[in-house]
Amino acid sequence: QEEFAGLVTDVRGKGLLIALELADGHAAAKVQEECLKHGLLINLTQKKVLRIFPALNIAKEEMKEGLFILKHALKGCWGRGK
């Protein structure tokens, strides 16, 4: 959360269901689009909340790959000035 302060305004979740709230909807849509391009399906809700819900039986390597994709999508969006 600290790495993306200013872009990510809230992180919440329960179990593997996680929500990242972004500062604006345009940035959230761009992050979702970038993740999808790289094979990571993330829902966009309330215009600026990214919802992540991996399968309960997800392998550790798959989780790492998904987080890698998400991190780079967030960095790319943040680097473009939202």
pTM for the complete prediction? 0.85
The per-residue pLDDT for 82 is 40
In the structure, what pLDDT confidence band is assigned to residue 41 with cuts at 50, 70 and 90?
very high
8 Å CB contact between 11 and 4 = no
CB count, 10 Å around CB of 7? 19
CATH of domain 2-79: 3.90.1150.10
Q: Which residue do the tokens 């991996």 mark? A: 54
Q: Which residue do the tokens 């761009």 mark? A: 30
In this prediction, what percent of the chain has a pLDDT beyond 70? 93
